[in-house]
Amino acid sequence: MLKHWIKTIVVSATLLAAAGAQAFTEGKEYKALAKPQPVAVAGKQEVIEFFWYGCPHCFAVEPVVEAWEAKLPKNVNFRRVHVMWDGRNDLEGHARIFLALEGMGLTRKHQMAVFKAIQQDRIELRKEDVLFDWVKKQGLDLAKFKANYSGFSTKMQLNKLSEMTRNYAVDGVPMFIVNGKWVTSPSMVGREDGTITKVIDSLLSKNAGAKK
C-alpha cells in the first residue's frame, strides 16, 4: 500500500513538472481577444485558423496543423477561415478558392495542394483560366468547383470572411483563435513548429469541462 502511495506521488510530481515545462504566459505566447466571440457549435470547444494561401508562414506551419488536426478529440471544432482584409483586392481570388473547396467539403483534403501550387510551383491561381486548368488536373469536379467559386452566394460568403476578419481583429496570419477568447500565432510564439499547437492545447485545457 505504501509503495503504491509513493508511486502515485512520484507519477503526479512528474506530470506536474511536465505541465510546468509546457506553461505559457498570457501576453507572450498568447493574449485575450479584445472582444470575445461566440463559438459556432454550442457545447464544443473551438479553434479557428485564419490564414492566406499567399502567406509563406501559413504554408510553413500547415503540416504541423494538419498533423495536430488529425488527432483532435470530437469535442473540438476546428475551422479554417481565409482572411479578407478590407482594401486588399489581391486576397479575393485565393479566398474564392477556399470557398469553393469548402463548399465541396474538400478543404482539408486539398489545403496543402493549393499551398504547394502557389508557394512552391508559383502557379498564379488567381487567374481563372490557370485555376480551372489546375482544378481539372487535380481530378476535381470542375462544374461544382465553378458553382462554389462564383455562385450566387459567393459574394455574401466573401463578405462573411471580411466580417470575421474584422470581428476577430486579425492583424496577421497565421492566427489562431481558441474558444473565442484567446489569440495565439507563430509570430507570438517565435517559432513555426509544433510549439504553436502546444499553446493551443494548453488554452483548450482551460475549458476542459466542455462537452465530450
Q: Which of 151, 186, 189, 176 is nearest to 76 (CA)?
A: 176
Looking only at the bridges linking them, the beta strands covering 76-82 and 30-32 are unpaired
Number of residues in the chain: 212
- Cell numbers standing for residue 23: 506553461
Q: How far apart are CA 188 and CA 190, in angstroms?
A: 5
Give the mean model confidence (pLDDT) for residues 155-167: 97
Distance between CA atoms of residues 204 and 187, nearest Å: 20
The per-residue pLDDT for range 14-48, each reduced to its tens digit, is 333 433 446 899 999 999 999 999 999 999 999 99
Domains of the chain: 25-207 (3.40.30.10)
Q: What is the pLDDT of residue 23?
A: 85
- Judge if pTM exceeds 0.85: yes
Using one digit for the tens of pLDDT, what is the confidence trace for 93-130?
999 999 999 999 999 999 999 999 999 999 999 999 99
